[in-house]
Chains A and B, each alone.
Chain A
Amino acid sequence: MDKEIKIIVIGGSAGSYNVIKKILLALPVGFPLPIVFCLHRLKEVRNGFVESLNINSKIIVREPDDKDLIKPGFAYLSPANYHLLVEPGRNFALSTEDNINYSRPSIDLTFDTAGYAFRQKMAGIILSGANSDGAKGLYSAFKNGAYTIVQDPDNASFKAMPMEALKLFKPHQTLSDDEIVSFINSLSSNNYV
């Protein structure tokens, strides 16, 4: 693996919330990388989700505005009813175009654009979910050189999303939720801000 991972992108749907809480709980103050969560969520509920992720998280979780710079040490959550894209200038961009795989945000789009912008400096992780979103996007990031991890379907509350990814390609690792937390933590020692 490239030791210079500069961004972690995580896609999750049904059953991923507890894994995400675990990740946020484990991250130390001053964690040196940006983490982007693209999570399926209710379209019409704008408030509450980011607040709940911030509870017990030592790093700040934000819903980015359009064109916000991606900064190390922050976690970002896809805002309700927008697609979350990563621009080659390494800032965010939002889009309101049609649902993809019945979803807005679409995990495919976030993985795909982040992979294009960050190439081998991205680590992409797909978690539990009850649909197929994310698999194609993670595969596209993989082809662009990203380091890819799929949550072990036997360890995921909903297997469909990790299974779809595993059907499409062989990721670098298939890990349990606890192993994913350790993996993310291990990235911090490889990076110096």
Chain B
Amino acid sequence: MEDISLKDIKRVIDTIYLTRGVDFSNYAFSSFKRRIKRFLEMNKIRDVNGFIEKIKDESEFADIFIKEVTVNVTEMFRDPSFWVVLRDKVIPSIKFDHSLKIWHAACSTGEEVYSMAILLKEAGLLNNAEITATDINKHVLKVATKGLYQIRNQEINSKNYEAFGGKGNLSDYYTLGDNTVQFDKQLVSNVDFLCHDLALDSSPGKFDLIICRNVLIYFNFDLQEKVLQTFVQSLSKDSYLGIGSKESINWCRSARAFEEVSFEEKIYRKTSDNL
């Protein structure tokens, strides 16, 4: 299909904001443009004007677009070495009061929430943990709450879990269905799944650890800065932030509140409130 024009992209963003209250205006340009094109191609839509009218008139359709335009590809224990550093260095050094408070920001379909729950369970800490898992999209939160995943994704998940050095087999944590696997719901009994838009909403609380991996890459500089400020407000002193292995907060003013704990795994400790 032909390229979608800048003007049309802006019209789509404006319409979604006005009708659904979701703000895509500070998303990174190339990937967002591609996601719109992908959606139009998948739905065989040629006429951008008609498409915009449809978003305006049909809230259900607009919500499907919002779901499809955001990226929800994730794995359990993606980058196993990240989870090793969390298990061996970061979490043991957190001095929490009553409970270990963790925020999975933009948790998508929840694979990393389950990874964390498994890690904590194996460390004997799951009952001491309070996890908040948020996403902009209620459809993916539903998937996360259910813990029902496609069987075809388990190969990579198991491989990652093995590389992470888990205590058993990943299959210890799920039961097999026909084409799906059902993860043990006990794992997420201490998890609050909440709808939350990093672009618009304020901090959902104070945490000892925030996990937000491969989310900032979809945002432009302005939104990255804003989100990092929210993270600074949401972290107690000496608490931690983990981002994706090729993400960078060095551009942000708010990066000054942090020191690097692991360069390879992109884990930071908050050292001050002074921005």
Q: Does B51 interact with chain A (Cβ within 8 Å)?
A: no
Q: Binary interface profile of B, 26-39, with partner A (CB < 8 Å = 1, else 0)? A: 00111100110000
- Please measure, in the bound complex, the distance between the C-alpha atom of A179 and the C-alpha atom of B274, giving whole angstroms: 56
Is the Cβ of B214 less than 8 Å from the Cβ of A65?
Answer: no
Is the Cβ of A86 less than 8 Å from the Cβ of B30?
Answer: yes
Given contacts A44-B159, A95-B217, is CB(A66)–CB(B248) below 8 Å? yes
Q: Does A181 interact with chain B (Cβ within 8 Å)?
A: no
| Nearest B-chain residue to A144, judged by Cβ | B3
Q: Does B200 interact with chain A (Cβ within 8 Å)?
A: no
> Could you say which residues of chain A place their CB within 8 Å of the CB of B30?
85-88, 93, 113, 116-117
Is the Cβ of A96 less than 8 Å from the Cβ of B79?
Answer: no
| Nearest B-chain residue to A94, judged by Cβ | B217
- Please measure, in the bound complex, the distance between the C-alpha atom of A16 and the C-alpha atom of B224, giving whole angstroms: 36
> Could you say which residues of chain B place their CB within 8 Å of the CB of A46?
79, 81, 245
Is the Cβ of A88 less than 8 Å from the Cβ of B217?
Answer: no
| Cross-chain contact of B73 among A68, A94, A98 (Cβ < 8 A) | A98
Main secondary structure of the interface of A (DSSP, over half): loop
Given contacts A96-B214, A116-B3, is CB(A87)–CB(B28) below 8 Å? yes
Q: Does B122 interact with chain A (Cβ within 8 Å)?
A: no
> Could you say which residues of chain B place their CB within 8 Å of the CB of A88?
29-30
Q: Does B57 interact with chain A (Cβ within 8 Å)?
A: no
Is the Cβ of A95 less than 8 Å from the Cβ of B31?
Answer: yes
In residues 238-256 of chain B, which contact A (Cβ within 8 Å)?
Answer: 244-248, 251
Q: Does B218 interact with chain A (Cβ within 8 Å)?
A: yes
> Could you say which residues of chain A place their CB within 8 Å of the CB of B217?
66, 82, 93-96
Binding site for B on A (CB under 8 A): 44, 46, 63-68, 79, 81-83, 85-89, 93-98, 109, 112-113, 116-117
A-B contact pairs, 8 of them (CB 8 A): A46-B79, A65-B246, A66-B216, A86-B30, A87-B29, A96-B244, A116-B30, A117-B30
The 9 closest A-B pairs by CB, nearest first: A65-B248, A85-B30, A113-B30, A97-B71, A66-B217, A95-B31, A96-B214, A94-B217, A93-B28
If A83-B31, A93-B29 are given as contacts, then 15 extra A-B residue pairs at C-beta distance below 8 Å, sorted by A number, are A44-B160, A44-B163, A66-B248, A67-B251, A68-B248, A79-B245, A85-B28, A89-B29, A93-B217, A95-B71, A96-B74, A96-B214, A96-B217, A97-B35, A98-B73
